[in-house]
Structure 1
Amino acid sequence: MKISISMYSLASTLRRESWRVTEFIEYAKTISLDGVELLDIYWQNPANKDEEIKGIVENLQRNNLEVSAYDITNNFVHQKKIERKAEVEKVIEGIRVAKELNANTVRVFCGDIREGLIYEECFDWIIEGLKESAKIAEQEKIVLAVENHGLLAGKSLQIHEILRAVNSPYVKSTFDTGNFLLVHEEPTKAFDRLKQEIAHVHFKDFREKHTHESVKGFRSTEGKELIGVIPGDGKVDLAYIVEGLKKYGYQDWLSIEYEGFEDAKMANEEAVRRLRKLLK
């Protein structure tokens, strides 16, 4: 298995030090990673990113790093068909960019809770969007890896249902180890259900917020607040998941995604050390 870090893991550093993608790549090289996970939200000029991509590809080659996944922030939960079509176009553009970056995985979302809608009411929209997107993914040999993200479609059974309904070898799972806690599902049980569908892994952890803390955490489906922590300091049994991946023969990426309040560089570097130890 190979180790990468999501650029989102350094969100506080990006803001504080005004990092661009190139600075993030240079940092990743200093901590001896195998690759980086890039996001559509971090382009300097999103409307005209081709020149930036060329420079990033050169930077990646110079530093001997790969792109573990290219993440897009799509949302298929729209009542109007024209709006859902625009989200499909966003995924298709993500596939194009992934090809330019020599990545074979695009991380995608299903959508967010809105306007009082529930998962069952949005299911057909999600399937419609993923099936349309999968047509291009199959042509380009790019895997669309659906993340268990947010409170709408964050449970393993929901992800399993979605993948079965789309029924494409190029639509798989981005298994986010921490996000299951936001929907009050035990991550180890989620792993047992989805292990055959995993194409990408987010190595992440949460703990419950203490009553005296003033920081704002992530609110769960039951209204509890969870705080991002260095993997291993929270509620996720990461050793179980890593051992399960080994047993199942998973050979792809484990990508660290830290969402806490400690110094991001320190937190990510410690996460890398812990993950390497688990992989031995």
Structure 2
Amino acid sequence: MKLGLSSYSFRPLLANGSLTIEGLFDWLEAQGAEHLEIATFSFAGAGKEAGYDLSAEEETLRRIEAAAARTGVPVSGICLGANFLSSNGARRAEIKTVKRHVLLCKRLGAGFLRHDVVPWAHRLADTAEFEREFEGLVAVCREIAAFGAEHGVVTSVEDHGFFMNGAERLLRLVHAVDHPNFKLTVDVGNFLCVDDNPYVATERTLGRAAFVHVKDFYVRTREPGPGWLRTHGGQFIRGSVFGYGDLDVAALLRSLVASGYDGFLSLEYEGAEPTLFGCEVGLNNIRRMLAELGG
């Protein structure tokens, strides 16, 4: 496996300007990271995340290319949001945007694109709405997967947010799309958003994984205070340094190693501790645990 980080982990520092693109790649090189996965909005200015289109930011792209070439830290993949619900009148425009990011992957030498199908905050729909939307989402995912195959870019959907999340829905989507270039980005922690058991859900989905995210959460049954995310079932979660939280992350990594997965592995840090501290400690914890597991 090739261990690196998502640019999302550094969003607070990139947003306030205390970390530049060049400084990010320097940090990755110094820490021995083997890749950077790009979450597109990471490079948006503070408060400008909505509608941000990295494919249109030529100066930013040139800086990323130059920094990657200088440090030898490659871009492994790109993650971006999308909204393909039938109520979205701009669905064809959304598809074109995602396809532009397929081409951006090709430009940056990245072989993987993760796109959403609904906005992250769209809460878990009732069965009627999900069933009503499902076939349309399948068709869009198949179209994008076919386009990705033409350009050597694997496309995927992640257990992200509340609507298209949970092992059952994700596996159903993969089977329905039925395209060899369409797979999953498996985030071992995000299953908690819909109260799916992360250990079972990770085991179930790893066989379809093109890319894997690892993270850790604190989990509470009552809301401790501000800054906690309410899950679909009414639990409360908050990001932590990898290895500090309530997840048995060693067990999750054990499943990853046992599955034979040998692709890119991204740490997504979203805790309250200082950003670079959380990223460095988490990265080292993953390395230590993988070494203990022989992975």
TM (norm. structure 2) is 0.87
Map 1:84-163 onto structure 2 (within 5 A).
84-112=91-119, 113=122, 118-163=129-174
Structure 1 match to 2:47 = none
CA shift, 1:213, in A, is: 4.0
The answer (yes or no) to whether the contact 2:76–2:109 under 8 Å persists in 1 is no
- Indicate the SS of the match to 2:90: helix
* 1:66 maps to which of 64, 74, 79: 74
| 8 Å CA contact 1:141, 1:170 repeated in 2 | no
SS in 1 for 2:150: helix
1:232 aligns with 2:238: no
Does the 8 Å contact 1:87/1:129 carry over to 2? no
Counterpart position of 2:58:
50
Which residue number in structure 1 is paired with residue 218 of structure 2? 207
Change (3 A) 1:211 1:17: farther
Task: Show the counterpart of 1:243.
Answer: 254
Q: CA offset at residue 268 of structure 1?
A: 0.9
- Contact (CA 8 Å) 1:53, 1:100: kept in 2 or not? no
CA distance in 2, matches of 1:221, 1:211: 13
Count of matched residue pairs: 279
CA deviation string 1:44-94 (max 9, x = no partner) = 6847323432332121021011112111111222424x4221221121011
8 Å contact from structure 2 (residues 9, 270) kept in 1:
yes
Amino acid aligned to 2:265 = L
1:30 maps to a residue whose letter is A
SS of 1:135's partner is helix
Q: Is the 8 A contact 2:123 2:161 kept in 1?
A: no
Cα pair distance change 1:92/1:56, threshold 3 Å: same
Q: What is the rounded CA distance, in whole Å, between the counterparts of 2:114 and 2:164 in structure 1?
A: 15
- 1:213-260 Cα offsets, whole Å, 9 max, x none, are 433222210233211111222233322232222222211111011111
Give the structure 2 partner of residue 3 of structure 1.
3
The corresponding residue for 1:186 is 197
8 A Cα contact 1:5 1:36, kept in partner: yes
Aligned pair in 2 of structure 1 residues 84, 148: CA closer, same or farther (>3 Å)?
same
Partner of 2:180: 169
1:75 corresponds to which letter in structure 2? N
* Matched residue, 1:38: 38
Deviates more, 1:237-246 or 1:64-73: 237-246
Matched-pair contact (CA < 8 Å) for 1:111–1:126: no
Give CA deviations for 1:160-193 in whole Å, capped at 9, x if unaligned. Answer: 0001111112111111111111111111111221
Distance 2:204 2:186 in 1: 11
Change (3 A) 1:239 1:114: closer
Aligned counterparts of 2:198 and 2:133: Cα–Cα separation in 1 = 24
Could you tell which deviates more after superposition, 96-105 or 45-54? 45-54
Distance 1:33 1:160 in 2: 31
| Matched AA of 1:36 | L
SS in 2 for 1:161: helix
- Listed one character per residue, the Cα deviations across residues 1-28 of structure 1 (whole Å, up to 9, x for unaligned) are 1111111112222233443433322221
Cα drift, residue 195 of structure 1: 1.7
* Worse-superposed segment, 20-29 or 193-202: 20-29
Gaps of 5+ in 1: none
Query: Alignment RMSD, CA only?
Result: 2.2
Give the C-alpha shift of residue 29 in structure 1.
1.6
Report the CA distance shift for 1:17/1:170 in structure 2 as closer, same or farther (over 3 A): same
2:15 aligned residue: 15
